[in-house]
Structure 1
Amino acid sequence: APRPSPLTPPELVMLDLNHTAAAEAYRVLRTNLQFAAVAHPVRALVITSPLPSEGKSVVSANLAIAVAQAGFRVALLDCDLHRPRQHRIFGLGNGLGVSTALLGIEGVSLDDFLQQGPLPSLRVMTSGPLPPNPAEVLGSARMRTILDEVGRVTDFIVIDSPPASVLADAAVLSRQADGVLLVLHAGRTSHDVARRTVAALQQVQAHVLGVVLNRMPVRGSGYYYYHSYNYTYAKQYYRRDDSLVGGAIPVTPPRPATNGKSAPAGEPARTPTDPSPR
């Protein structure tokens, strides 16, 4: 099976392994999201999973690349403020990120928090230092403002969220976004856990678009086929990455919208359902 170059992280199959079955599965996922969003345009997508270690961060990274490869301006936000991975996946610094953008730093613009990704049209906002109150800050008015501001300069936002059945963060983020994609570990995630997770998200009025069945073994596939993605240990997560922990962030509640959700602001922008790239 093809292998990535020494300069490409092995998780990013959409780069050097663009012609493999795994990469094609991401393109299928991108197309299926377009169809799923016909009646409900999606500009900000939360990607989560019921449990830790199901592959949500890798799916988030590769889907962001897949959408950027289609000519869209994409921002990937690492909102897993417990065990963030995007800075490691992309080999980026993590001094500035979501947490510091939420805190606000005098003289630092939002653009400074968005690092350049491996494609010209892909920007990545890493987690930054980890606050002690993640769910509270992710549901704040400042988080709504950040999404609005990022949405003004991009076409599509991918939000990497903590596991939905372990922490409240995913439910909080789902009310800030237009849709949710659930990543399930094939052969490990039970139907009952998946159903309960979907029900919990729908209870907070999240728009669950579908699921990604991850790590499906394919006969005769080799390593990267094993990591293909098909559209169709909770306690450890509370032990956050202590090397990244920062201070508390003051919180202002988000303003309510007429439809019961925090409404996006700013000028209209193209979504991945629009076939004509800028």
Structure 2
Amino acid sequence: MKGLDLITFKEPTSPMSESYRTLRTNIQFSSFDKKIKTILITSSGPGEGKTTTSSNLAMVMAQGGNKTILIDCDQRKPQVHKVFGFSNENGLSNILVSDNEVDINIGVHETEEPNLHVLSSGTRPPNPAELLGSAKMKNFIEQLKKTYDFIILDTPPIVLVTDAQILAQYTDGCLLVISSGEAERDSVIKSKGLLEKVNAKILGTVLNKVDSKKKGYYHYQYEYGGTSK
């Protein structure tokens, strides 16, 4: 497993990995009425780190003893298979366009973390939004719930296409990834509005690409995980 951006796999004891574990904990305690099982991750624009966030969150969920599947729902610019070093020949789209009954094992890859499985996006379809909004997609998610503790959907930027809004109806909560110093304020506000428009439950935001060399960052990590005298 290449895991070029998978710091939670390569350096599980690093401060960054601890940040993902904190995110995991926050999600698990975000609702007392209903367990969060299906999580959608999106961003306002491209290059903000949603796939990195999705992949690392899926890894720490699995490392915590939860059977987890990460699904690449970005049919236009899929990246998950590149992060894990898998083929994208068969994946989600191939399952959804098949005339046969849905087989959740088709295209699902095992990883070096026993509790983590990955489903790549598959062959690019001509109609991604319609495919993701189909009854077959809804039924597929329902089937996965019987097998997995957590289902994480990596979706396209919500401002650019409607895919994330469509998929939000299948999920228990959404995370909005924001790139520090790059994301435009208006785009972030618009992204939040688009999720609210479809009654999506916004679990929170993930501030990505923060300058780790800033004094405050190291001070926080030291006080939290270090042994101060």
- Of the three residues 164, 169, 183, the one matched with 1:170 is 164
Q: Name the residue aligned to 1:102.
A: 96
Superposition RMSD on alpha carbons, in Å?
1.9
Amino acid at match of 1:91: G
Q: Name the residue aligned to 1:123.
A: 117
Q: Name the residue aligned to 2:10.
A: 16
Percent sequence identity is 36
Are the aligned partners of 1:56 and 1:160 in contact in 2 as well (CA < 8 Å)? yes
CA distance in 2, matches of 1:90, 1:142: 26
Secondary structure, counterpart of 2:71 in structure 1: strand
Secondary structure, counterpart of 1:110 in structure 2: coil
The 4+ residue runs of structure 1 with deviation greater than 4 A are 105-108
1:37-76 equivalences in 2 (<5 Å): 37-76=31-70
Q: Name the residue aligned to 1:215.
A: 209
1:192-231 equivalences in 2 (<5 Å): 192-219=186-213
Amino acid at match of 2:114: P
- 1:96: Cα distance to partner? 1.2
CA distance in 1, matches of 2:112, 2:44: 29
Q: Name the residue aligned to 1:29.
A: 23
CA distance in 1, matches of 2:118, 2:109: 5
Gaps of 5+ in 1: 1-6, 226-278
Secondary structure, counterpart of 2:194 in structure 1: helix
**Pair 1:114 & 2:111 matched:** no
Amino acid at match of 1:154: Y
- 1:54: Cα distance to partner? 0.3
Q: Give the structure with the larger helix fraction.
A: 2
CA distance in 2, matches of 1:220, 1:180: 29
| TM-score after normalising by structure 1 | 0.74
CA distance in 1, matches of 2:169, 2:199: 7
CA distance in 1, matches of 2:102, 2:43: 33
CA deviation profile, 1:61-108 (whole Å, cap 9, x unmatched): 000000000000001000000100011100111111000010126488
Q: Name the residue aligned to 1:140.
A: 134
Are the aligned partners of 1:77 and 1:126 in contact in 2 as well (CA < 8 Å)? yes
CA distance in 2, matches of 1:199, 1:147: 25
- Of the three residues 65, 79, 103, the one matched with 2:73 is 79
- 1:118: Cα distance to partner? 2.3
Q: Name the residue aligned to 2:153.
A: 159
Q: Name the residue aligned to 2:224.
A: none
CA distance in 2, matches of 1:17, 1:35: 25
CA deviation profile, 1:180-239 (whole Å, cap 9, x unmatched): 100000011122221111011101111111000000002279xxx9xxxxxxxxxxxxxx
Secondary structure, counterpart of 1:111 in structure 2: coil
Gaps of 5+ in 2: 219-229
Are the aligned partners of 1:8 and 1:15 in contact in 2 as well (CA < 8 Å)? no
CA distance in 2, matches of 1:106, 1:172: 24
Q: 1:108 to 1:42 in 2, by over 3 A?
A: closer
CA distance in 1, matches of 2:180, 2:28: 24
Q: Name the residue aligned to 1:180.
A: 174
Amino acid at match of 1:93: S
Amino acid at match of 1:38: F
CA distance in 2, matches of 1:118, 1:47: 23
